[in-house]
Amino acid sequence: MKRLAVSLGILLCLLAATAQATGQPPPRQMDQRRLEAFLSEPVPARMVFFMAAWCAPCRQELPALQSLWLKYEGRGLDLAGVSLDMDPGAMRELLKQVGGVGFPVYWAGEEPIMRYGLSGIPLLLIFQNGREVERIAGAKTEEELEALILKVLKQAGR
């Protein structure tokens, strides 16, 4: 029991050191069941950004999403990223390169690709009260992203 406590303590220290060194917590692993529960939560306005570290448009959109999240989180924007990378370390490195983001980033691997019929990334899925209401694929400018966010918030009465 003591060994388990020590091992757990070491693991927690390593995770904390990783988060501190990158300025960003490592992507949290999310299996299919947890991802489905997360997506079906009855929040008024949720945008989920499916991405991968190797995807150039995804890399370009991250700083814009961070800026817009900071601007609109107080109005009720719920934004989360989901990494489809095979290795969670790839997204951790990308987050480090862009200076981190304030919204949560989850690592789900490739499993959601088939489950949700993802045909390309970057991909924004928009949910209202646990229902997917819109799917926007492809690269978007910061202005296009802001227009989408304003639309989602307006539809949610925010």
Residue by residue, DSSP assigns 32-66 as HHHHHHHHTS--S-EEEEEE-TT-HHHHHHHHHHH
Residue 56: predicted pLDDT: 95
pTM equals 0.77
Q: Tokens in use for 55?
A: 């995807």
Residue with tokens 């694929």: 137
- All residue ranges of the chain with pLDDT < 50 are 1-22
Q: Tokens in use for 43?
A: 């929040």
Residue 40: predicted pLDDT: 81
CA–centroid distance for 140 within its chain = 16
DSSP string covering 103-116, please?
S-EEE-TTHHHHHT
Positive or negative, the CA dihedral 132, 138, 142, 148 is negative
Residue 107: predicted pLDDT: 87
Positive or negative, the CA dihedral 62, 68, 73, 76 is negative
In our burial notation (b when 16+ CB lie closer than 10 A, e otherwise), range 33-52 reads: eebeebbeeeebbbbbbbbb
Residue 124: predicted pLDDT: 93
Residue 155: predicted pLDDT: 86
Residue 32: predicted pLDDT: 67
Sequence-separated (6 or more) residues with CB below 8 Å from residue 12: none
Residue 41: predicted pLDDT: 85
Structural domains of the chain ordered from first start: 24-155 (3.40.30.10)
Residue 1: predicted pLDDT: 40
